[in-house]
Homo-oligomer: A and B are copies of this chain.
Amino acid sequence: MKVYIIGIGLIGGSMALDLKSHFKKAIFFGIDASENNLEEAIKLGIIDQKTTEDKLINADLVIVAVPVNVALVILPKVLNVINDNALVIDVGSTKFPICEVVANHKRRRNFLATHPIAGTEFSGPNAAVKELFKGKTNIICEVEKTAYKQQEMALDLFQKLGMRIRYMDAKSHDKHIAYVSHLSHISSFMLGKTVIEKEKNERDIFDMAGSGFESTVRLAKSSPAMWTPIFKQNKTNIIETLNEYIINLTKFKELLQNDNYDEVFNEMQNTNRIKEILK
């Protein structure tokens, strides 16, 4: 088997590492905008060789793991070049624009749109780790538009990675993921910003930061190059979630201003059930 990974970062690199242990005879080729990333990926044993897009005709499997703006440009090109038996998957955090850009491609049936809900705040080949996907959810969109053979091949891969599968239409995916992922990133980035701005004037403030602050601000370490195009592509849904979040924060502030501590308590009490929900 010949596996081509386009974008050897956290996700693409981690997938390669796991698939390598399942397909011992497979050869792993890497394509990346950064020559450094490619060299590093070879050193780290993530890929066997670097290559270029024109060689994709040889691919059995192509994993497109690039920022979502780049995916919109690359995916049609990849489908132009591949052979008729190849499976192409993407792993981006938006699904509607990506499904749309390949909707009428003659090789649409070779493509499967997926979103593995796995990751860390780190990026690049160095961030790749084994078993990143174990026990995680993979959301597959528009499965009916992918040919049976390629569906089966993909499901076998995801099973080997240890993922559980959820099927969803692309619009619902983008709407839901705005709440449970994209909003978290913005809340974290703006929390970091609010505290850093203060720190300019007030020394030693971060000395006082505990694990709670670190937890809520962790996502503010994420890559702006990856997240800016996600926010752009999912703009409408994200603005809706941000509006609701800002309204809730403003209401909470008003409860404090009005010394309505019974309601402050209730707000927190009601939200405590996140414990059960996230179990």
Q: Which residues of A come within 8 Å of B, CB atoms?
A: 117-121, 136-137, 139, 166, 173, 175-177, 179-181, 183-199, 202, 204-222, 224-225, 227-229, 231-232, 235, 238-239, 241-246, 248-250, 252-253, 256-257, 259, 261, 264-275, 277-278
Q: How far is the CA of A273 from the CA of B137 in the complex (A)?
A: 30
A246 — which chain B residues lie within 8 A by C-beta? 246, 249-250, 253
Given A193-B270, A194-B245, A274-B220, residue A256 in contact with residue B239 (CB < 8 A): yes
Contact B268 A189 (CB under 8 A): yes
Q: How far is the CA of A181 from the CA of B208 in the complex (A)?
A: 8
Q: How far is the CA of A217 from the CA of B207 in the complex (A)?
A: 22
Q: How far is the CA of A218 from the CA of B235 in the complex (A)?
A: 26
**A32: shortest Cβ distance to chain B, in Å?**
20
Contact B216 A212 (CB under 8 A): no
Given A176-B202, A246-B249, residue A185 in contact with residue B166 (CB < 8 A): no
Q: How far is the CA of A54 from the CA of B166 in the complex (A)?
A: 60
